Structure 1
C-alpha cells in the first residue's frame, strides 16, 4: 500500500497536532504556570512602570514568544499590555497631580513618559478629562490661591532669587561657551559616545508595527545606542510635532515610518535643516531626498500575491482591497500585481471586480466592501488584500455569507492570526517579511550614517525628485505547504501558536485515536 506525498503530509499534520495536544498537557503552558507567569509579569510592571518597559524583552526573560505572552496576558487580565501599562501610569499620575509642586513634565518623567503631549492625550483617553481639569475637579486651584495670598511676600523673594540664578547662567554662557557646547552636541551628557536614535512611527495599530518597534529597540540597545520612540496614531500633524520633539531631544539620526508619503517630507526637511540624517523605514517618503530607504521589495510582494492567487483562480472574479492611499507601499504593491494580472485580464480569463483603498488600513473597511459586494450577489473567486489585517476583515465578511474557505484570500506580513488561518485553510497565502533582518540592518545603517561611514549600497530608487539609496530585502511567500520551513523554523511564530486552533479542536474531541482513524478513512485513498 502506497500513500501519496500530499496524503502523507496531511497524515503528518494530523499526528503532529495530536502530539502537540498531549505534549502541552505536561509543559510550561499549563494553566497554573500561565497564572504564575502572568503574575510575575504584573509584579514586574507594577515595580517598573516608570521605566522603558518592552513586552518583547519581558517575553525573552520568561522564555516565551512575544505573541504568545501578549495573548495569555490579554486572556488573563482582560486587556492588552499597552492598555494595562497606560492605565497604571495614569492611575499613578492622578496621585501625583494632587501635589501642585510638580509640573506636568515632572510627572511625565516620574511615570515613564517622555512626551507631555502624549501623556495628556493618554490621560484624557483614560479619564475623560485633561490633567489640568482633573486638578480643578479636586479643588486644588482654590488651595493654591489661598496659599498665594498667604505666601505672597515669600514668593516675591523666590522670584528675585530665580531671576538672579538666570542672570548667572547667562553670564556663564557668555564667558564659558565650551561648557554649553558639550551640553548641546546631540548626545547623552553622561556618555558623549552613545548614539541617540529617534524613531517616529505612523501607527501601531497593526501587529507587525509593534513587532518592528520592539525588535528595533532591542537591536539598538544591543549595539549600544539609545532610541526614543514616538507613535503618531495615523495623524499627520502629530507626526510632525513628534519629529520636532525628537529633534529637540538632540537625536543623532531619525528613523521615519511616514503616515503620509507626501506630507512627511516636511518632517525630513526639519531634520535636514538641523543636519540630522534620515532613514525612511519600510515606507518611502516622496520628494525628500532621504539618506536611505530600507524596505522589503514591495513590487515583489504584489507579484507574489497575484501569482499565488492565480494558482487557484485560473478563471473568475478577483476583488482587490489595497491599503491606505497615503502609503506609497500600496502603489508599489499595485504595480506588482498589475504586472502579473494584466495579461490574464486582457485575455478575458480574469475579471477584476473592484479595486478599493482602505483609509488607515482599517480592516473594518475591507469587511464593509466585501460584505456589500456579496449582498449584491456578486460571485467572488479570489481576494487580494493589502495586508493580513485587511485579509482578516475580508474573511470575516466571507464568513457572514458562508463563503469562508471557499474564496481564496492572500495578504502580507505573516501576522499570527493569518498564519493560523493558513493552516486551517481560510487564507491561501501571506507574504512573509523577516522583520528582524530589516530591523538589524536599519540600526547598523543608522550607526554608519551617524559615523559618516560609507553604506556601500549601489541600488537607487526614485522618490519623485531624487534618486536615493535603496537597501532592499526579499519577501517570502508562505502557504500551508512551507509554513514550518519558513515562519516556524525562523522563530517568527511558535508552532504551538500557529496550530493553536488545531489543538483546541482536538482537545475538545472525545477520543483522539477515533478522530485520527475517521480522518484517515474519510480523506485518504490507498493504492
Structure 2
C-alpha cells in the first residue's frame, strides 16, 4: 500500500474540485429522490472525531451535494451500538454508508447486510471487513515509522540499546496493528522493548494505568522512551510519569496533532505528534460517498488498492502523514492553518512559545 505524497495530494485536490463542479452541474439526479449519506463515527474519546472529522465531512457533503441528507451516529466505542446504528440507517434506506468502524470483525455482518440492500459502504480511516466499496485513510505503516524515527531521535545517545515502553492502540482497531508494525520496523534491533500494552478504547485513563504499572515494574530509570500510539494515550503516559515525579521526562510520541498535545510539545512534555491533514481525508471520503450515492464511477478518485482480511483490491485513497516536533510546529500547523498562535500560545505558554520560535 502506498501513501499519497505532496504531488499526489495536489492531484487529488484537483480531482475533488472536478467532482465538486460535476456535482453542481448535474443537479444531483433531479426526480430520483434525495441521496442520503449515513455517517458512523467510532467514539468521542479521541477529540478529532467530533472536533475535526464530523464538521469537515458535513461541510464537504453540503458543498458537493446540497440536496443530500445526512444521518449521523457516534458509537461511543461500543461495537454493539454501532451495529444497531448501522441497522437503523440500512432500514431507513440510506444511499451510502461512511463507516469509521469500532470493531471490523463485529461489524462484518452489518457490512454484508448493507450489500444485500444495495447500499455501498466506504470505510473511513479504519479498514472495515466485508464487501466494502472503498477505503479512505492515511498510511498507517508510515505513521508508525514516523513515530519510531522520532522516538530514536528524541532518545539521542540512549537510542542505542535503550529501553522503550510501547503504548499501542485498541486491538479491535485495525489501525492499531498497522501503527505498531510500522513503529517496530524502525525500533527493532536498535532499542529494547521493555513492555508493550494495548490501550482499550484509546483512552487516556487506561494509558495512565498501564504507564503507572510499567514505572512500578521497571523503575523510572529504565525507561528511556515511550512509543504512544496517539495523543490521548500520550496524555495518560505523561500524566503517569509526572505523578511518579519522573524528571526529566523521557521522549513520548503521539498522533493526531490534538491542540493539547501541541501545547505539551511546546512545553517540552511530549516530544512529537503525527499530523494527518483531516480536511483532505474528509473531503476525499465525502467525494467517494457522493459518487457512490449517485451510482458514479469512483476510479478517478482512487490512488491505490488495499486488501482487507476478507476483501481483495479495495479501491482506496491513502494520504501521507507528517511528523511534528517543537521545531516544526510553526511551518506545519500554524502556516498550514490548523491552529493559530493564539490558540497554541496560552498566557502560561508564551515563554515556551518564544523559546520555540513561535512568535508573531
TM range (shorter): 0.7 to 0.9
Measure, in 1, the Cα distance between the counterparts of 2:247 and 2:140: 27
Residue by residue over 1:389-430, the C-alpha shift from the partner in whole angstroms, topping out at 9 and shown as x without a partner, is 000000001111222652100010000000001111111110
Where does residue 465 of structure 1 map in the other structure?
A: 310
Residue 342 of structure 1 and its aligned partner are, at CA, apart by 1.5
1:458 shift after superposition = 5.2
Q: Deviations over 1:454-507 (max 9, x none)?
A: 22225211111322112100001001111111111222122111111545679x
- 1:360 aligned residue (198, 201, 222): 201
- TM-score, normalisation: structure 2: 0.83
Deviation string, structure 1 residues 225-282 (Cα, Å, up to 9, x no partner): 3211111111211111111111222211000011102111112111101000100000
1:257 has 2:109 as partner:
no
Equivalent residue number for residue 327 of structure 2: 481
The aligned runs of 1:343-492 (5 Å cut-off) are 343-344=189-190, 350-376=191-217, 377-378=219-220, 379-403=222-246, 405-456=248-299, 457=302, 459-467=304-312, 468-492=314-338
- 2:254 partner SS: strand
Change (3 A) 1:362 1:191: farther
Name the residue aligned to 2:45: 205
Question: CA 1:490–1:321 in 2, change beyond 3 Å: closer, same or farther?
Answer: same
**C-alpha distance in 1 between matches for 2:138 and 2:341:** 25
CA-CA distance at 1:194 after TM superposition: 3.3
What secondary structure sits across from 2:106 in the alignment?
coil
* 1:17-69 Cα shifts (integer Å, max 9, x gaps): xxxxxxxxxxxxxxxxxxxxxxxxxxxxxxxxxxxxxxxxxxxxxxxxxxxxx
Q: Distance between the aligned counterparts of 1:445 and 1:239, measured in 2?
A: 21
The answer on whether the counterparts of 2:61 and 2:290 sit within 8 Å (CA) in structure 1 is no
Instruction: Work out the CA distance in 2 between the residues paired with 1:486 and 1:404.
Output: 29
How far is 1:381 from its partner? 0.8
SS of the residue corresponding to residue 307 of structure 1 reads helix
Number of residue equivalences: 314
RMSD of aligned residue pairs (Cα, Å): 2.0
Give the helix-richer structure, 1 or 2.
Answer: 1
Aligned counterpart, 1:226 = 69
Aligned residue among 316, 325, 329 for 2:171: 325
- RCO higher in structure (CA 8 A, sep ≥6): 2
> Per-residue CA shift, 1:105-127, capped at 9, x if unaligned?
xxxxxxxxxxxxxxxxxxxxxxx
Following superposition, the deviation at residue 328 of structure 1 comes to 0.3
Tell me if the contact between 1:370 and 1:394 (Cα under 8 Å) persists in the aligned partners.
yes
Contact 1:420-1:501 at 8 Å conserved across structures = no
Asked whether the 8 Å contact 1:460–1:470 carries over to 2, the reply is yes
Alignment partner, residue 4 of structure 1:
none
Question: Which structure: larger Rg?
Answer: 1
Within the candidate set 144, 148, 153, 1:306 is matched to 148
What TM-score do the two structures reach when normalised by structure 1? 0.57
Q: 1:404 to 1:389 in 2, by over 3 A?
A: farther
Residues 289 and 463 in structure 1, CA contact (< 8 A), matched pair in contact too: no
